[in-house]
Amino acid sequence: MKKLLMFIFVVTLVMSSGFAQQRDPAARLQREIEGLTTALGLSKEEVAKITPIVTEAQKKQSESWAKMREAGGEMDRDKMREERNKMTAETDKKLKEVLTPEQGVKLDAFRKQQAEERAKRMQGQ
């Protein structure tokens, strides 16, 4: 129980570390892995299986965003959202191949929660 509480404390601390780390790929990857670990109740072995999948997905997403920025002009938020949703669906499909069916259901709930939180942040801007 103490380990779980400590883990939750560390996750909270990392997640509240501020805007600067949002742009840091390593910090972003760590937040995503920790979020999935907590939400899905992953074991160390499962974390080892999903880490390469999430790493590759974030690499592809970063490359995609970079290409959009290099194209110049105004960033098309709708296109970015569509691209993110497509990549997330592809990643989730790969994740579900290594997760249990119960964890797959939890993953869907986690993604829904993320979308709701993202929508709230966007309303606040």
84, with CB counted inside 10 A (0-12, 13-18, 19+), is: middle
Q: What total number of domains does the chain contain?
A: 1
pLDDT of residue 99: 95
Q: What are phi and psi of 19, to 5 degrees?
A: -65, -35
pLDDT in tens, the chain (125 residues): 666 656 665 566 555 554 444 578 889 999 999 999 999 999 999 999 999 999 999 999 888 878 877 777 666 778 888 888 899 999 999 999 999 999 999 999 999 999 899 888 888 76
Q: Answer yes or no: pTM beyond 0.95.
A: no
How far from chain centre, in Å, is Cα 115? 11
CA pair distance 70, 51, nearest whole angstrom = 28
* Structural domain range at position 53: 2-124
